[in-house]
Amino acid sequence: MSHPHPELGPPPPPPENGLRIVALGGLGEIGRNMAVFEYDGRLLVVDCGVLFPEPDQPGVDLILPDFDYIRGRLDDIEALVLTHAHEDHIGAVPYLLRERRDIPIVGSRLTLGLIESKLAEHRIQPVKVEVIEGERRSFGPFECEFVAVNHSIPDALAVAVRTPAGLVLHTGDFKMDQLPLDGRLTDLGAFARLGAEGVDLLMSDSTNSEVPGFVTSERDIAPVIDDVFRTAAKRIIVASFASHIHRVQQIMDAAEKHGRKVALIGRSMVRNMGVARELGYLKVPAGLLVDSREIEEWPPEDVVLICTGSQGEPMAALSRMANRDHPIRIAEGDTVLLASSLVPGNETAVSKVINGLNRWGARVVHKGNARVHVSGHAAAGELLYVLNLTKPSNFMPVHGEWRHLRAHARLAELTGVPRENIVIAEDGVVVDLVDGRARIAGAVPCGYVFVDGTSVGDITDVALKDRRILGDEGFISIVVVVDSTTGKLTGGPEITARGSGIDPDAFDAVIPLIESALQEVAAAGVADEMQIRRTIRRTVGRWVSDTYRRRPMIIPVVVEV
């Protein structure tokens, strides 16, 4: 079993008649999925998603894949294949198309409909190539065959990539629900046929590789939803992913059955469900939907609100309702249904929202107290099934954190994939498929690219560290005026603090220390502004640490006269 090493160096030139694969996201993390295939100097990209920030990344809106590896070769890209329309697979597409707008976007009807709607907000008109399951399309040296897979969004596809170097099957996100709501099964026959042809490398979804057995069918949560509707005394507020069309359909069906009207809350929810309805993936009974602005006119027992915010996102509708920062006010007797899985890392934020909703008297139904969600990702039993069907010569787990990748690798070994043919890679690791064998060939730089408002890539790890310090410890600013020639103190120091928790009067004790330190510097003939700032920072930092055991950000300001 080969795996990355921290000291991997740059890879050699791509091997002749070999296929090179570099993941720019999605390995060792949940999200930011993006894989680049290279053959004979041409590139094929599969997915281009975002990662959502964690609490220790304050101010960050989104995290993108690092495009540096392909930035100088954008004209070599034959196509961008999108396996499905979840944000962790399509969210970074607008940022890639800013750099080359005419990259052909390949996907199913719904996937293209949702990405086109998203790109319209960025004023980008994409070059679309619509495909269906069972279809084969060639893009330069890459022949792509598309296979239907079942997931928590309709119209998801796996893609088999054929080149002279071999056949690679990329499953995308999938599960094997045998009673899917839309009747569209994962095409196990196609997987078996590809396995008979000879899969040289299987790249398979690892998200649920630690979960034994098979994932529960979507249909199994219908009775729970029905029970929520039957017992709810007043309004029902459902929080879901804005792309979870199956779940929204279930909620609408239950609303119709129980005589309630439905309003969609949130821009992304309204946009996505509008596209799904227009394309026929969402069936909305006549008269069921009402405008959210009219919802207050209806009796509480007659309405259902469907909104975003199931992950505790601060600016999403549900979080704002919990904080009383939304036109819709949670009231005693309301029922809130969190109809989504919990993305790792969001536990604290979701718990805070649940507590906020309970504070205002709502009954909150969530995965912890009812079966209101089933995963969209195959569990270990399903992954074993696919491994046995496809019989890959080489295996590379994708789409998961380290524990998921390693668990999936163990499953592959159990099915007979030779240990030395199992490649566990991380973002930026270069994998070459040559003569039927996949091997790690090196690594390329592949960091996080942070989006903060309109800023893309300007926020660095250093800036995030500063933000964390400011949030945890506050700051102290010290302004001094010095003689530009001698470095002697001529004014100040004036000290201002915010968020440090230190009484302003307490700084009287550090002023003599600053004056003494600056006198010593001036006596040594030092008038350099940088040295003066360093002296102030060291003096104040030591005093704060010794006195208060704190480490606020210290910002010296030196004015030369």
User: Residue 174 in contact with residue 186, Cβ under 8 Å?
Assistant: yes
Rounded Cα distance between 24 and 36, Å, is 7
Who contacts 293 (Cβ-Cβ below 8 Å, separation ≥6)?
none
φ, ψ at 223 (rounded to 5°): -60, -35
The single residue of 170, 377, 404, 408 carrying the catalytic annotation is 377
376 is in an annotated binding site: yes
Is 243 known to sit in a ligand binding site?
yes
Question: 420 CB contacts (<8 Å, ≥6 apart)?
Answer: 1, 2
Q: Is 408 part of any known ligand binding site?
A: no
Residue 218 tokens, joined: 């979507």
Burial of residue 7 (CB within 10 Å: 0-12, 13-18, 19+) is exposed
380 phi and psi angles, rounded to 5 deg: -60, -40
First to last CA, the chain: 66
**Rounded to an integer, what distance in angstroms lies between the CA atom of residue 151 and that of residue 147?**
13
Spatial neighbors of 112 by CB under 8 A, at least 6 apart, are 82, 105, 126, 128, 130
The reply, when asked if residue 217 is annotated as ligand binding, is no
Amino acid at 7: E
Task: Determine whether the annotation assigns residue 26 to a binding site.
Answer: no
Whether the CB-CB separation of 555 and 475 falls below 8 Å is answered with: yes
Residue 404, marked binder: no
DSSP string, 96-146: HHTT-TTPEEEE-HHHHHHHHHHHHHTT---EEEE--TT-EEEETTEEEEE
Rounded CA gap, 308 and 397, in Å? 31
- CB-based contact 317:308 (threshold 8 Å): yes
**Is 5 a known ligand-binding residue?**
no
Q: Read off the tokens for 425.
A: 């890679």
Can you tell me whether residue 498 is helix, strand or coil?
A: strand
Ramachandran region of residue 31, left (φ > 0), alpha (ψ -120 to 50) or beta? left
**Cα 245 from Cα 229, distance rounded (Å):** 19
Residues 431, 423 contacting (CB under 8 angstroms): yes
Is 86 annotated among the ligand-binding residues?
A: yes
In single-letter form, the type of residue at position 122 comes to H
Is 287 assigned to a binding site?
A: no
The three-point CA angle 159-207-417 to 5° equals: 65
d(CA 445, CA 6): 12
Question: How many Å is the Cα radius of gyration of the chain?
Answer: 28
Phi-psi region of 487 (alpha: psi -120 to 50; beta: other; left: phi over 0): left
In degrees rounded to 5, what are phi and psi of residue 439? -140, 150
| Contact (CB, 8 A) for 118 and 142 | no
Q: Is 291 a catalytic residue?
A: no
* 366 annotated among ligand-binding-site residues: no
* Distance in angstroms (rounded) separating the CA atoms of residues 111 and 345: 27
Q: Which of 47, 66, 200, 205 is catalytic?
A: 205
Active site residue 205: yes
Judge whether 416 is annotated as a binding position: no
Q: Is 173 annotated as a binding residue?
A: yes
Report the alpha-carbon distance of residue 243 to residue 262 in Å, rounded.
17
Residue 170 annotated as lining a ligand binding site = no
> Binding site membership: which residues?
59, 61, 84, 86, 88-89, 151, 173, 242-244, 373-377, 399, 452
> Binding site membership for Zn(2+): which residues?
84, 86, 88-89, 151, 173, 399
Catalytically annotated residues:
205, 377
> Binding site membership for substrate: which residues?
242-244, 373-377
> Binding site membership for Ca(2+): which residues?
59, 61, 452
